[in-house]
């Protein structure tokens, strides 16, 4: 049950209440009561969790420009296992040991089934990112969070947030935000905004801007 220096704990837990895992004015990630959780550990310290239950991701991937707003909010139900790194201390206060019935509610016949599923996701995340060696990966010393949500293609949508800074990379878009500075890339256009909603639009066969 290891992947590089990161490893999963061997006991399944569950959320004792609805929890907001992350929240800023741009987005939230929340999980419902009884969502299953497995801690991700590094040198015996909890660095994150893999959750599986009923949750929701809300993200306002909208760019405000002088010409008008561009983009649509993301509203995803989180019914598949997803990974989170960061904010562990607060979360662990609201977790307790999962019973067989809790596992059964999410379709697992045993704890091992859940652990195997979680390990596959952990391997996919660290394998994909090449961050399995923790010496190259200095996460844990700041207040940021990382989420990885499997999308319908089986790949991972990732959300990295630290204060007002945010990076969201999904199947059809990339959204980077730092206060009023935003970059949004969709399959058809790239929009860059700066202070005072100054913006640059790059579309297929088209480029224009205002200042």
Min dist CB 168 to another protein, Å, is: 13
Q: Does 71 bind another protein (CB under 8 A)?
A: yes
Min dist CB 17 to another protein, Å, is: 21
First to last CA, the chain: 54
Contact between 77 and 52 under an 8 Å Cβ cutoff? The reply is no
Residues 6+ apart with CB under 8 A from 84: 21, 22, 29, 48, 49, 50, 51, 145, 146, 147
Query: From the list 67, 99, 109, 163, which residue makes contact with another protein (rule: CB under 8 A)?
Result: 67
Q: What residues between 36 and 65 interact with another protein by CB under 8 A?
A: 58-60, 62, 64-65
Query: From the list 2, 43, 72, 136, which residue makes contact with another protein (rule: CB under 8 A)?
Result: 72
Min dist CB 72 to another protein, Å, is: 6
The interface mask with another protein, positions 13-32, x = CB under 8 A, is ----------xxxxxx----
| Residue closer to another protein, measured from CB, 112 or 208 | 208
Q: What is the DSSP string of the chain?
A: -EETTEEE-SS-EEESS-EEEEE-SSEEEEE-TT-EEEEEEETTEEEEEEEESSEEEEE---EEETTEEE---EEEEE-S-EEEES-HHHHHTTEEEPPHHHHHHTT-SSHHHHHHHHHHHHHHHHHHHT--SGGG--TTSSS-EEEEEE-TTS-EEEEEEETTEEEEE-SS-EEEEETTEEEEE-SSEEEEE-GGG-EEEEETTEEEEE-
Min dist CB 190 to another protein, Å, is: 15
Min dist CB 58 to another protein, Å, is: 4
Q: Does 81 bind another protein (CB under 8 A)?
A: no
Q: Does 210 bind another protein (CB under 8 A)?
A: yes
| Residue closer to another protein, measured from CB, 29 or 148 | 29
Q: Which two tokens stand for residue 154?
A: 């089986």
Q: Count residues contacting another protein (CB under 8 A)?
A: 28
Q: Does 206 bind another protein (CB under 8 A)?
A: yes
Q: Does 7 bind another protein (CB under 8 A)?
A: no
List contacts with another protein (CB under 8 A): 23-28, 58-60, 62, 64-65, 67-75, 205-211
């Amino acid at each position: 049950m290891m992947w590089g220096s990161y490893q999963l704990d061997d006991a399944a837990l569950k959320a004792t209440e609805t929890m907001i895992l992350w929240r800023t004015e741009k987005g939230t990630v929340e999980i419902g009561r009884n969502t299953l959780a497995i801690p991700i550990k590094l040198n015996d310290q909890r660095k994150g969790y893999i959750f599986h239950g009923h949750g929701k991701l809300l993200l306002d991937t909208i760019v405000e420009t002088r010409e008008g707003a561009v983009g649509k909010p993301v509203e995803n139900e989180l019914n598949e296992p997803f990974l989170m790194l960061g904010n562990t201390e607060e979360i662990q206060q609201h977790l307790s040991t999962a019973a067989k019935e809790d596992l059964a509610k999410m379709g697992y016949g045993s704890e091992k089934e859940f652990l195997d599923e979680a390990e596959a996701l952990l391997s996919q995340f660290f394998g994909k990112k090449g961050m399995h060696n923790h010496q190259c990966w200095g996460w844990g010393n700041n207040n940021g969070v990382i989420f990885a949500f499997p999308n319908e293609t089986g790949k991972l949508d990732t959300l990295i947030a630290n204060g007002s800074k945010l990076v969201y990379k999904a199947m059809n878009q990339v959204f980077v935000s730092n206060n009023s500075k935003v970059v949004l890339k969709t399959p058809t256009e790239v929009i860059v905004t700066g202070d005072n909603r100054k913006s640059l639009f790059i579309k297929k066969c088209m480029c224009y801007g205002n200042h």
